[in-house]
């Protein structure tokens, strides 16, 4: 198990939301994204991508490594890449506990090493569309194409923009352990983004975080992917294999480097 750093993008004083949010509070709020959830996603990926033990797999935006660990358990050669020091170190710990060989890399998804290095790239749980500029989001797709071998396959698991708008909830308040959580959501119509403010109240102290994700649709992805040399072969709306439509919560794209 290795942990490399690769970060050439400048980190400004007024850092974007994704540089501060992915920490222990994030894991607490999304505790339902657990090992069982990861197993279900990997089973789907194995079925739809035809993964074989020994394949080289990049878990792009791997977080705390729950998918990376499950992949390594199943015999894949895994690299997990993420920007969060905190989550990567947790991934290291989980892998060490099971004596799994996983290379963890800290890097910005717009700029990271490797070339023709992977059979498969996996991008789970809406880990795309974070950047304000479309060109920056396209840079992530260009990197996926660059690191895939010819004929290599990819999976992008994204929110379903139409489902989000149709079922939009402006406010939720709930208890998470000893914390009270308030989530306020808005649609930035000018920039076509869904924005969430998360306030966590714990022992009388409030901590506030943000999320902001571009509302890309399937046609948008196809238009961005094709110039990168990536072709969409299938689109699903959930991990049960149902087709993508406005009734399904996810947009799961399966494709290959052509």
Residue 196 and residue 177 share a domain? yes
Q: What is the pLDDT of residue 115?
A: 86
Please, is 227 exposed, middle or buried when counting C-beta atoms within 10 Å of its C-beta (0-12, 13-18, 19+)? Answer: exposed
Residue 152 and residue 45 share a domain? yes
Residue 69 and residue 123 share a domain? yes
Return the CATH number at 7: 3.40.50.150
Q: What is the pLDDT of residue 67?
A: 97
Spatial distance between the Cα atoms of 189 and 167, rounded to a whole number of angstroms: 16
Q: What is the pLDDT of residue 14?
A: 66
Beta bridge partners of 243: 236
Spatial distance between the Cα atoms of 244 and 228, rounded to a whole number of angstroms: 23
Residue 82 and residue 185 share a domain? no
Q: What is the pLDDT of residue 10?
A: 40
Residue 123 and residue 82 share a domain? yes
Over the chain (258 residues), the average pLDDT of each successive run of 10 is 43 74 92 88 97 96 97 98 97 97 96 90 97 98 97 98 96 91 97 97 95 98 98 97 95 98
Residue 145 and residue 68 share a domain? yes
Q: What is the pLDDT of residue 34?
A: 84
Q: Which domain holds residue 178?
A: 164-210
Q: What is the pLDDT of residue 114?
A: 87
Residue 46 and residue 8 share a domain? yes
- Produce one character per residue of 82-118: b if its CB has 16 or more CB atoms within 10 Å, e if not: bbbebbbebbbebbeeeebebbbbbbbbbebebeeeb
* 212: helix, strand or coil: strand
Residue 200 and residue 76 share a domain? no
Spatial distance between the Cα atoms of 92 and 196, rounded to a whole number of angstroms: 29
Residue 151 and residue 44 share a domain? yes
* 257: helix, strand or coil: strand
Residue 243 and residue 179 share a domain? no
Contact in structure between 79 and 100 (CB atoms under 8 Å)? no
Residue 200 and residue 92 share a domain? no
Residue 75 and residue 20 share a domain? yes
Q: What is the pLDDT of residue 233?
A: 97
Domain count along the chain: 2
């Amino acid at each position: 198990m290795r942990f490399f750093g690769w970060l050439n993008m400048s980190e400004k004083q007024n850092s974007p939301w994704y540089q501060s949010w992915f920490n222990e509070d994030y894991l607490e709020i999304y505790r339902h994204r657990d090992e069982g959830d990861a197993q279900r996603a990997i089973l789907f990926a194995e079925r739809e991508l035809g993964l074989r033990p020994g394949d080289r797999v990049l878990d792009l935006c791997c977080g705390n490594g729950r998918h990376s660990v499950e992949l390594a358990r199943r015999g894949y050669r895994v690299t997990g890449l993420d920007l969060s020091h905190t989550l990567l170190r947790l991934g290291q710990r989980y892998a060490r506990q099971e004596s799994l060989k996983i290379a963890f890399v800290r890097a910005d998804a717009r700029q990271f090493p490797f070339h023709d290095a992977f059979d498969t790239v996996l991008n789970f749980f809406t880990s795309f569309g974070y950047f304000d500029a479309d060109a920056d989001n396209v840079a992530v797709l260009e990197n996926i194409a660059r690191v895939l071998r010819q004929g290599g396959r990819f999976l992008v698991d994204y929110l379903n923009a139409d489902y989000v708008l149709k079922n939009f909830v402006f406010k939720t308040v709930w208890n998470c352990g000893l914390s009270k959580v308030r989530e306020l959501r808005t649609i930035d119509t000018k920039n076509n983004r869904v924005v969430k403010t998360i306030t966590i109240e714990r022992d009388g102290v409030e901590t506030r975080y943000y999320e902001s994700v571009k509302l890309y649709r399937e046609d948008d992805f196809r238009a961005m992917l094709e110039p990168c040399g990536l072709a969409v072969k299938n689109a699903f709306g959930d991990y049960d294999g149902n087709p993508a439509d406005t009734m399904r919560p996810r947009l799961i794209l399966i494709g290959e480097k052509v």
